[in-house]
């Protein structure tokens, strides 16, 4: 996906705007010609990633999180980055940190998924979805 265009949006850490993120990704996924089921998967994965981020960032006053959509040829890359003040992610995941249902849904709906901490005060969720036909031809 070198030289791919990136659509970057910033949302307040406020549940009221999660549906806006969902509708935006739906429109972009439609441009990449995902089918209706795939678009539904991507919408739900973005919704759940936003929920996860909002729960983790809830105590950071007046913060925003950024979503970067990178549409490619028959694939889409999505990265969500936010402030994070809940400490060591790796330990929390190992201890069965909450939001298991969100993570379970994201894992099932996209082809690649990772949560990382690019720095002590940031959290990043990366998701990648390919067209079904690309997956079957791999």
Partner 1 sequence: MYFLEGKKFIMDLAIEKTYNGNNWQVKLCGEIDIVNSAEFKSQLTNLIEEHVADIHIDCTGLEYIDSTGLGALVGILKNTKSHGKEVRLSFVKPNILKLFRITNLDKVFIIEEGDKDE
Which residues of this protein are in contact with partner 1, per CB under 8 A?
A: 15-16, 18-19, 37, 40, 44, 47-48, 51, 54, 99, 101-102, 104-105, 108-109
Q: Tell me how far, at minimum, the Cβ of 111 lies from partner 1, in Å.
A: 15
Minimum distance between the CB of residue 102 and partner 1, rounded to whole angstroms? 5
Instruction: Order across the sheet with 112-116: list the strands.
Output: 7-12, 64-71, 75-83, 122-130, 112-116
3-state secondary structure of 58: coil
Nearer to partner 1, 19 or 119 (CB): 19
Report the C-alpha gap between 81 and 65 in whole angstroms: 6
Instruction: List Cβ neighbours of 15 (8 Å cut-off, separation of 6 or more).
Output: 51, 54
CB of 49 to partner 1, least distance (A): 11
**What's CA 134's distance to the chain center, in Å?**
21
Shortest Cβ 101–partner 1 spacing (Å): 4
14, 64 Cβ separation under 8 angstroms: no
Nearer to partner 1, 16 or 95 (CB): 16
Nearer to partner 1, 6 or 93 (CB): 93
Give the nearer residue to partner 1 in terms of CB position, either 6 or 135. 135
Please name the residues in contact with 136: beta carbons below 8 A apart, sequence gap of 6 or more: none
């Amino acid at each position: 996906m070198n030289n791919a265009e990136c659509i970057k949006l910033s949302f307040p850490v406020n549940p009221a705007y999660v549906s806006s993120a969902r509708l935006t990704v739906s429109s972009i996924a439609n441009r990449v010609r995902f089918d209706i089921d795939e678009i539904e998967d991507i919408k739900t994965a973005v919704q759940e990633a936003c929920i996860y981020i909002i729960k983790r960032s809830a105590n950071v006053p007046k913060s925003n999180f950024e979503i970067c959509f990178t549409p490619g040829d028959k694939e889409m890359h999505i990265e969500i980055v936010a402030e994070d003040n809940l400490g060591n992610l790796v330990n929390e995941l190992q201890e069965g940190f909450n939001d298991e249902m969100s993570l379970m849904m994201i894992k099932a709906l996209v082809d690649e998924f990772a949560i990382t901490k690019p720095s002590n005060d940031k959290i990043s969720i990366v998701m990648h979805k390919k067209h079904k036909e690309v997956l079957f031809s791999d």
